[in-house]
Amino acid sequence: MGSSPAATPAAPAEPVPRWLWWTIYACIAALIGCAGVLAVAGPVDSRSLGLVLQQAGAAFAPALAAVSAALGSLLPASEERVTALTEDSFAPFLLAHPLALVEFYAPWCGHCKRLAPEYAAAAALLAAANVTAVLAKCDATQAGKIAGIYGVKSFPTMKWFRKGVVTEYKGGRTAATIVQWVTRRSKAPLTRLRSAQELRRLQAAAPVSVVGFFEAGEPQLGAEGAAIDAAARSPTFAALLGAAELAEQADYAFGSVALLPKVGPGASKEFVAQSRSSHIVLHRAFDEPSVRYKGALTAAALLSWVALESLPSVFQFSPSTQGKIFAKREAPLLHVLYFGDKSNTDQYEENERNLRKAYASYKGAVLNVMVDTELKSNANVVKFFAVNTAALPTLRGFRLLGNKKYESGSVDFTAAGFRAFAAALEAGTLSPIVKSAPVPKSQPGPAIEVVGDTFLELVVESKKDVLLEVYAPWCGHCKKLQPIYDELAALYKTNPHVVIAKMDGTANEAAGLDVKSYPAIKLWPAGQRAPVEYKGERSLKGFQAFLAKKCKFCGKEAKCPLGFDQDGNKPAAGEKKPEL
């Protein structure tokens, strides 16, 4: 082990606040009360109790999250429960730990530094709760090969590994949200249901539930609910279990039921065999409540079907639904957005019915979204799509890839009209909406200010090498970069072949410009329409080396102010540096 500074006395631990103890007691009492209700009702097994507690846990989630967050803040910032991985230890670690969350980070990343104490606290909380999953971290700047294999493009990136299958982590960045996300995915993926009551509880515990119904005696689960040998599974059960293991969304609940022959008028219809073959049914709280699966009996095919059927024919836009509406998915990636005033009840409801009718013709390709423009919480989406609230109702099209928005023009608000609009959106024949700030009358700063209306001329079609920073005025990283970027721009101000430019990404958009985070820095070499993304250190030296390597002219007709050649190297000692 390496040397360390002399130890200093540890600060005394903060006492747990009294309010936190009372919150813990209240949550525990509420959960015990649920169990008491079951006890009064009659004998109950561990599965029934688990389902009841799952529902109770959902009801008390805010309080439990507050408790978890408070406990996390009281824990020391030690990372002893977080395993540091290298390229050599990465694969052996995953073999030894079937369930693991891995953070890919960069030592210089501010977001990673802020995440570190929350991540360490989450690891300690999970260990204290005996959750089988473990947390690890990997320095992507030192393990570039591993980072490349798993498509790490920004920091921090968190990946969930379950028995060798990797998926994106889609939870929050606090100890409480990490614990909640990991705990839910560490449980057995499939619940065996033994009564109609258990089935109804499973359906109530999640917005979407997927249940396999099997003839009595058909292979399903072994003793104590453990999965039986793969060779003994029926194809239907294998597909169901496989999909449950692959599912990464927390709002899918999977279960299996052994059907019984009808024994009398009192038999539950959910558990009476309706056909001689096993089958899978999806239950949801919208549209047609129950849908039977008729596709291929593979885990991937079933999960794709579940993902599609979990989307309603019409979304009502709100802060709670926008994450699912605009979530990254294989399909659909197009959106028809209806903007209207919901207080005009008859018109709003009629157009909603027409949207539902139209949906069948483009299901799987396009999502329908309705936005009530009178809600203050929807003001940002109304502004984003440049909707004139004096001219309602209206439609907008949206393509998730590239964040492209489209105008509707004149619209027929019938099912046929919605189908025609969706078809035009799919065909790419709608007029795009491009946001732009006013064109600057002068360029007083060292960096050229680009807006949406000048992007094509000054950047893409320029005869020069153009380095562009897309920033946000509120972004702390952008503010920190500004003096460095201005110094770089000043160095190249007199260079006839290189342009250093910037654009406010919150006020401007441009076709073909995909910005996922701020600041985004990209280089358009002269005559090349596809940009090269800058991923290096945000320093004067880093930018200079990048330009020396990637610019079309730098190192030839142009002279690099800091003396770098095209390989990013300085001249040897004693050699004369090039001058402007």
Q: Which residues are known to be catalytic?
A: 109, 112, 475, 478
Please give the distance of CA 281 from its chain centroid, rounded to a whole number.
27
Strand 394-399, strand 520-524: pairing: unpaired
Q: What is the DSSP letter of 85?
A: E
**103: which DSSP letter?**
E
Tokens 């897309």, residue?
A: 470
Q: At what angle do helices 46-59 and 61-74 cross, to 10 degrees?
A: 80
Q: 116 with 77: CB under 8 angstroms?
A: yes
Q: Please calculate the CA angle 289-294-295 and round it to the nearest 5 degrees.
A: 125
Q: How many other C-beta atoms are found inside a 10 Å radius of the C-beta of residue 470? A: 23
Reading the block at residue 339, the tokens are 């903007």
Contact predicate 68/179, CB 8 Å? yes
Q: Which amino acid is at 203?
A: Q
Number of H helices, E strands in the chain: 17, 21
> Would you tell me the crossing angle of helices 46-59 and 18-41 to the nearest 10 degrees?
140
Which residues in 78-113 are b (16+ Cβ under 10 Å) and which e?
A: ebebbbebeeeebeebbeebebbbbbbbbeebeebe
**From CA 172, how far away is CA 101, in angstroms rounded?**
13
Neighbours of 179 (CB within 10 A): 27
How far from 449 is each of 444, 455, 462, 466, 489, CA to CA, in Å?
9, 10, 14, 12, 11
Sign of CA dihedral 337, 338, 339, 345: negative
| C-beta atoms surrounding 77 within 10 Å | 10
Report the C-alpha dihedral over residues 62, 64, 67, 71, rounded to 10 degrees.
-130
CB atoms within 10 A of CB 307: 17
Residues 6 or more apart whose CB falls under 8 angstroms from that of 204 comprise 55
